[in-house]
Amino acid sequence: MASKPDPPTQASMAKALNVSQQVVSYQLKHMLKKKCHKKPKCHHLNERWMQIRRQRSWPLYKLLRKDRWLKFITTDEGWIYLIPMLNPKFNILAVTRTGET
Q: What is the pLDDT along the chain (101 residues), one digit of tens a residue?
A: 767 777 888 888 899 999 999 999 898 888 888 887 777 777 777 888 888 888 888 887 887 787 766 666 665 555 444 445 555 555 555 666 665 55
Structural domain boundaries, residue 32: 10-68
Is position 73 within any domain? no
Is position 79 within any domain? no
Question: Amino acid identity, residue 18?
Answer: N
Q: Is the pTM of this model over 0.95?
A: no
pLDDT score at 58: 82
Is position 50 within any domain? yes
Is position 84 within any domain? no
Q: What total of structural domains would you count in the chain?
A: 1
Is position 3 within any domain? no
pLDDT score at 101: 54
pLDDT score at 16: 92
Is position 39 within any domain? yes
Burial code (b: 16+ CB inside 10 Å, e: under 16) for 8-35 equals: eebeebbeeeeeeeeebeebbeeeeeee
Angle, vertex CA 19, rays to CA 14 and CA 20, nearest 5: 75
